[in-house]
Amino acid sequence: MLSALLLAVLVSAFVFEFINGFHDTANAIATTVYTRALPVRAAILMSAVMNFIGALTSESVAMTIAKGIVSVQLELYVILAALLGAIIWDLFTWWQGIPSSSSHALIGSLIGATIVFSGNTGNILWEGVAMKVIVPLFTSPLIGLVLGYFFMKIVYEFFADWTPKKANGLFHRLQILSSAFMSYSHGNNDAQKTMGIITLALVTSGNLAPDSGVPFWVKVACAACMALGTSIGGQRIMKTVGNGVTKLDPSIGFVAQVSSGLAIETMTALGAPVSTTQVINTAIMGAGSARGAKRVRWGMAGSIVRAWFTTLPITIVLGGICAFVIGLIV
């Protein structure tokens, strides 16, 4: 039987995944919608299906969250605090239209809550945080940027003699495939963070044996919550991603989605929880700069980059505050 505290953790986890849907999943389809390769409803449906498939594919990222961040046996209220801290930051950045990282919000909040719970920093697996969080924080966006730039140069070279109408027609069709790939890779990486937190909570409460992996019902529930979130609230972030960094056309949208999908899949294979937001934006920057640096709105890009660097420290504080307050209550 589920305790009230475990039930609160599960509800909060599903709320976080829902928010993750309208906060992050919009990244997977924003370029497709803004170049009119697909109407919004069709793009959302396709993204939801591919997110669902991706979420069921692997568990490596979920295990990083469940076992690779902290070394101490946490109490359920600490996990609840971590989720609440991440939810607060996600809602604030969504309200401001800033595509920040839900992944790093959750990890930062978990670190902060654990530090307050244990009273020291010794129970944080700093090597794991460095290799699985900090290094991918810098390398995955860089990979997206470089791939976006060079793939766009190749596209310009191969299709230089095509008329804009003919090229746009081709890349409109190709964008459907690239958006599906991007949505799949997003589900394969991003949906796993909440799966890892729920798995950690189930083990902590004694409802799941250690090393059992992620229960199938957890995968299905997280994938469904993410898909529902996508269908409701993604358009605020779409505006920033879709046309806030550079003026999009179908070829840039296609290149950005393929580049970011490849970068995310690489990190997923390594068990690294990365930010879809970071990777798609840098891929768009890379593809846009291939036609000239002045074509990229670096002011908007700068505000996005600042959000990346502030997410971890701010959510560490938020997670710590939530753990302190909830600890007083329970």
Tens of pLDDT along 84-117?
999 999 888 877 767 677 888 999 999 999 999 9
> What does the pLDDT read at residue 126?
92
- Cβ(316)–Cβ(108) below 8 Å: yes
How far is residue 239 from each of residues 31, 142, 252, 263, measured CA to CA in Å? Answer: 10, 23, 16, 23
197 pLDDT more than 70: yes
> What does the pLDDT read at residue 112?
96
Query: What are phi and psi for residue 266, nearest 5 degrees?
Result: -60, -45
For the segment 214-228, the average pLDDT, to the nearest whole number, is 88
Lowest mean pLDDT among 17-26, 155-164, 186-195: 17-26
Residue 195 lies in domain: 4-329
> What does the pLDDT read at residue 3?
86
> What does the pLDDT read at residue 78?
95
Q: What is the pLDDT of residues 222-261, one digit of tens each?
A: 988 887 887 775 555 555 554 556 677 889 989 999 999 9
Range with top average pLDDT, 145-154, 278-287, 299-308: 145-154
* 10 band by pLDDT with thresholds 50, 70 and 90: very high
- Cβ(295)–Cβ(247) below 8 Å: yes
For the segment 23-41, the average pLDDT, to the nearest whole number, is 75
Residue among 14, 1, 2 at smallest CA distance from 80: 14
* Total of domains in the chain: 1
* 46 band by pLDDT with thresholds 50, 70 and 90: confident
> What does the pLDDT read at residue 193?
86
* Mean pLDDT, rounded, of the chain: 86
> What does the pLDDT read at residue 111?
95
Contacts of 280 (CB under 8 A, 6+ apart): 27, 28, 30, 31, 144, 182, 241, 256, 257, 260
273 pLDDT more than 90: no
> What does the pLDDT read at residue 309?
81
